[in-house]
Structure 1
């Protein structure tokens, strides 16, 4: 029986099944096409520009190996870094089988959710890269975490804390710290257009048929989605939140500080008995608003309360474990989708990592409370879809069922 040879893509390191009789193969993850050299006879034919060569042993050999030639040699070691390792949830043995093994590759962004491959399910987009090395933007299938595409390496100014990334219409927008915007095709990750704003970015949002970038000088710039050409914005035109690297807003809600409470008709900082509310999650539609803060008397413990204007509907401590074993310091964050509120919190013991608590937004009932990991308390942000929670830590995204709290898979390499 003919045997399929498993090797690795020279460009991204993803699994590359080579079937008998094939003279070339296309990587299903990054799209790179490689010629197949089975070593039966020497060849002096030149390798087409941009192509790679995958060398596999003849059928008589027991072990298949590959060599990277042609364009890969010019790329160097960094250019041939493998794609993300996608790890499944623990099985009966408690192990985490690794589906795409490669060098340590990290996810370094708040997950942006959008349907990349057109299957109707939200996929994950964000900045990623190798430790202390080059970074890029990549997209991953929301069903299983497999890489769909990745861009070329980003320039240094596009990776720092002043840079912004967002998904607006059918474009992924990356704006560097110098105000240069680069658009990529949502479906493929291919570069689309670039534009210069002349100022550092503050916020990216979706206007009426136009991409809107708010810069730090309070100016608003309208850009055509297809071409990047400037478009004049109507005075007072609205702008809806888009999936972005900005942790303070998402499609469907935004997070605000206590200085905005009065303008929004919310209870003041110390107005809720037994609680100091420093931030609030404000959904864009009808329903309760959620106050996020800490217990005002005794030991500091994270708390959450739902309010209708200034009336308290319910309140509770966030931790589902002994509250005194948890940390209350740091910025309060949360995510909201389909009437469910998800709030992360840290343990006092750093070796116990981070947990997530999920509440029914209408009743305050705690639906689940789970440990994300026992690794780090550094987080890049949280996003929620109709079915899953996407919690980004220092190096990886943990994808957890919104309904049950069960871990489904991990994108990235765990520390």
Structure 2
């Protein structure tokens, strides 16, 4: 019978039942991996990056007593700790292949994708989550309150890499790893539906007429049947609808373009707007103004935005920060989001300790409607999405959700860095 020793995880303090003969142990709550040091002999070998060391006593003649006591303690403590670290959605898990983790050791990372997962008619959140320095997965959260709905099994290293692509098309969540493998999950339950190989890395996912279209980096378009993943022939020049995805430069309702596309799209050139230098633009998919993003052209590069019509006429311009502009990072504006006449733009404060803010403007007039603090943490952004009612801003480790109408913070998913 194996001897059980019950030390604690160096990162989160959860119990670590360690069997004899095991040299590496993984915490079942926070995912931290630790080397097991039984003190038999000294070692000068370096500890691998990201790992801890757990020191336990070597076996002794009191093993029988230790076995019984340790097993009892472990069962009690593990049961209590599980309640503190694991939280399941109300009711039975709807097909998710792993416990739903929501606690002080879970991060939300990647751009939030909005889709009605639970069928209540309101957009929910789908995105990548992870344990710090541990496994990563895709999860769905209720858009009304941030409660977890389902999560997939752990992603492979290639599916979690920065070269991977994710999207929601039809009733499928699509994950394409850095080797061109497509894995589809059921949008309602998170269970695997089908998989196929593209033979190349993906650059974009969109939705054609009854077909999922994956564009690869070699400019080839692959048609996939939503139900089975079988290859489908694509009509030449067929339209392809923008879908929620991990791509930062487009979303249902708008897309972001750089200065190199201004002429092609009939936009003013970078220096054509008086007092402003524009490097990017936000283009809504429907009628109405288009928005030039950049900075003041003279002096400190304070963030600015301008609205123009389809004749390149400037409708309005304004400074983005709603606080003293010189207390903000003078690097200009690069991104934003648009929905139903509302334009939202994040901007960073000069001092990292003051974090990031979010400003909302009335698209037709440039009137500032609200300006709020997102957080006072890391200024790394993972993307912004917007619905008819809410703004979803992802930092490096957490997703912050605000009311589109008032700027009031509604909830947060993940852990602040």
**Shared fold, TM over 0.5:** yes
**Could you tell me which residue of structure 1 aligns to residue 9 of structure 2?**
none
Q: Residue 12 of structure 1: CA displacement?
A: 8.4
Please state if 1:204 is matched with 2:205: yes
Where in structure 2 are the equivalents of 1:264-283 lying within 5 Å?
264-283=265-284
In structure 2, C-alpha distance between the alignment counterparts of 1:101 and 1:234, rounded to whole Å: 44
8 Å CA contact 1:359–1:367 kept in 2: the answer is yes
**Could you tell me which residue of structure 2 aligns to residue 93 of structure 1?**
none
In structure 2, C-alpha distance between the alignment counterparts of 1:305 and 1:330, rounded to whole Å: 13
TM-score by length of 2: 0.77
Residue among 321, 324, 343 paired with 1:322? 324
* 1:160 match: secondary structure: coil
Q: Residue 413 of structure 1: CA displacement?
A: 1.2
**Could you tell me which residue of structure 1 aligns to residue 223 of structure 2?**
222
**Could you tell me which residue of structure 1 aligns to residue 352 of structure 2?**
350
- 1:365-391 CA-to-partner distances (Å, cap 9, x unmatched) read 000000101111001000001111000
* 1:259 match: secondary structure: helix
Q: Residue 82 of structure 1: CA displacement?
A: 3.3
**Could you tell me which residue of structure 2 aligns to residue 242 of structure 1?**
243
* 1:214 match: secondary structure: strand
8 Å CA contact 1:343–1:356 kept in 2: the answer is yes
**Could you tell me which residue of structure 2 aligns to residue 393 of structure 1?**
395
Distance 1:259 1:101, change over 3 A: closer
**Could you tell me which residue of structure 2 aligns to residue 54 of structure 1?**
none
**Could you tell me which residue of structure 2 aligns to residue 90 of structure 1?**
none
In structure 1, C-alpha distance between the alignment counterparts of 2:298 and 2:151, rounded to whole Å: 49
Question: Which structure is larger by alpha-carbon Rg, 1 or 2?
Answer: 2
Distance 1:300 1:67, change over 3 A: closer
8 Å CA contact 2:303–2:333 kept in 1: the answer is no
How many pairs does the alignment contain?
Answer: 335
In structure 2, C-alpha distance between the alignment counterparts of 1:328 and 1:287, rounded to whole Å: 29
Q: Residue 331 of structure 1: CA displacement?
A: 6.4
In structure 2, C-alpha distance between the alignment counterparts of 1:159 and 1:202, rounded to whole Å: 15
- 1:27-57 CA-to-partner distances (Å, cap 9, x unmatched) read xxxxxxxxxxxxxxxxxxxxxxxxxxxxxxx
**Could you tell me which residue of structure 2 aligns to residue 366 of structure 1?**
368
TM-score by length of 1: 0.77
Where in structure 2 are the equivalents of 1:278-297 lying within 5 Å?
278-297=279-298
**Could you tell me which residue of structure 2 aligns to residue 407 of structure 1?**
409
In structure 2, C-alpha distance between the alignment counterparts of 1:158 and 1:331, rounded to whole Å: 30
**Runs of 4+ off more than 6 Å:** none
In structure 1, C-alpha distance between the alignment counterparts of 2:87 and 2:237, rounded to whole Å: 44
Gaps of 5+ in 2: 1-27, 31-74, 90-100
**Could you tell me which residue of structure 2 aligns to residue 97 of structure 1?**
none
* 2:270 match: secondary structure: coil
8 Å CA contact 1:199–1:215 kept in 2: the answer is yes
Q: Residue 101 of structure 1: CA displacement?
A: 6.6
Q: Residue 286 of structure 1: CA displacement?
A: 0.5
Gaps of 5+ in 1: 1-10, 14-63, 69-76, 86-99
* 2:326 match: secondary structure: helix
**Could you tell me which residue of structure 1 aligns to residue 255 of structure 2?**
254
**Could you tell me which residue of structure 2 aligns to residue 231 of structure 1?**
232
* 1:351 match: secondary structure: helix
Where in structure 2 are the equivalents of 1:3-402 lying within 5 Å?
67=78, 82=86, 102-309=103-310, 310-329=312-331, 332-402=334-404
In structure 1, C-alpha distance between the alignment counterparts of 2:210 and 2:103, rounded to whole Å: 41
Q: Residue 328 of structure 1: CA displacement?
A: 2.9
* 2:246 match: secondary structure: coil
In structure 2, C-alpha distance between the alignment counterparts of 1:386 and 1:12, rounded to whole Å: 36
8 Å CA contact 1:270–1:276 kept in 2: the answer is yes
8 Å CA contact 1:107–1:126 kept in 2: the answer is yes
Q: Residue 173 of structure 1: CA displacement?
A: 0.1
**Could you tell me which residue of structure 1 aligns to residue 61 of structure 2?**
none
- 1:313-356 CA-to-partner distances (Å, cap 9, x unmatched) read 00101000001111132760000011100000000010000000
- 1:235-272 CA-to-partner distances (Å, cap 9, x unmatched) read 11111110000010000110001111111111011110
8 Å CA contact 2:104–2:414 kept in 1: the answer is no
**Could you tell me which residue of structure 2 aligns to residue 35 of structure 1?**
none
